[in-house]
Amino acid sequence: MPQANALPVNAVAHPNNSESPFYRPTVFQAAVRRVHSRAAECTPKYMSSEASTQQSRSLKDEGYVGLGLRQVLLSSLRQSLNTHTVPCTILEIAPENWCGKGGIYQHYLEELAAHFTWYCHGLSLSLGGTSPLDFTFLESLKIFFKQYQVQCYSEHLSFSNDHQGMLYDLLPLPFNTDTVKHVVKRIQTVQDYLEQRIAIENISYYMTLDNELTELEFIKAVLNEADCDLLLDVNNVYVNSVNHHYDAEKFIAALPSARIAYLHVAGHQEQSLRDFDINADETILIDTHHYPVPTPVWSLLEYTYECHGLRPTVLECDNAIPSWPKVCQELGRIEKALENSYVY
For the stretch 82-111, pLDDT in tens is 999 999 999 999 999 999 888 998 999 999
C-alpha to C-alpha distance for 22 and 24, rounded to whole angstroms: 6
pLDDT of res. 4:
40
pLDDT band at 117 (very low <50, low <70, confident <90, very high): very high
C-alpha to C-alpha distance for 190 and 139, rounded to whole angstroms: 10
Question: Is the peptide bond preceding residue 292 cis, with omega within 30 degrees of 0?
Answer: yes
Q: How many Cα atoms occupy the beta-carbon half-sphere of 87 within 13 Å?
A: 23
pLDDT band at 133 (very low <50, low <70, confident <90, very high): very high
Total structural domains in the chain? 1
In a domain, 6, yes or no: no
In a domain, 277, yes or no: yes
Q: Kindly report the pTM of this predicted structure.
A: 0.82
Of residues 19 and 197, the one with the higher pLDDT is 197
DSSP secondary structure of 33-46: HHHHHHHHT--SSS
C-alpha to C-alpha distance for 221 and 259, rounded to whole angstroms: 12
Of residues 318 and 218, the one with the higher pLDDT is 218
In a domain, 21, yes or no: no
Which range has the worst mean pLDDT, 1-5, 201-205, 304-308? Answer: 1-5
What CA–CA distances, in Å, run from 239 to 93, 192, 255?
A: 23, 33, 17
Candidates 232, 253, 247; CA nearest to 311 is: 232
pLDDT of res. 209:
82
pLDDT of res. 3:
40
C-alpha to C-alpha distance for 229 and 262, rounded to whole angstroms: 9
C-alpha to C-alpha distance for 304 and 63, rounded to whole angstroms: 18
Q: In which domain, by residue range, is 229 found? A: 27-341
In a domain, 4, yes or no: no
Rounded mean pLDDT, 162-175: 71
In a domain, 20, yes or no: no
> Can you give the CATH number for the domain in which 198 is found?
3.20.20.150
In a domain, 138, yes or no: yes
Rounded mean pLDDT, 296-318: 96
pLDDT of res. 275:
77
pLDDT of res. 47:
34
Residue 23 phi, psi dihedral angles, 5° rounding: -70, 135
In a domain, 221, yes or no: yes
Residue 248 pLDDT exceeds 90: yes
C-alpha to C-alpha distance for 126 and 19, rounded to whole angstroms: 27
For the stretch 33-47, pLDDT in tens is 443 343 333 333 233
Residue 288 phi, psi dihedral angles, 5° rounding: -100, -5
pLDDT of res. 271:
78
Contact (Cβ atoms closer than 8 angstroms) between residue 283 and residue 232:
no
Residue 14 pLDDT exceeds 70: no
Residue 50 pLDDT exceeds 60: no
Work out the mean pLDDT of the chain and round it to a whole number.
83
In a domain, 17, yes or no: no
Compute and round to an integer the Cα radius of gyration of the chain: 20
Ramachandran sector of residue 68 (left: φ over 0; alpha: ψ -120 to 50; beta: rest): beta
pLDDT of res. 274:
73
pLDDT of res. 229:
98
C-alpha to C-alpha distance for 172 and 207, rounded to whole angstroms: 8
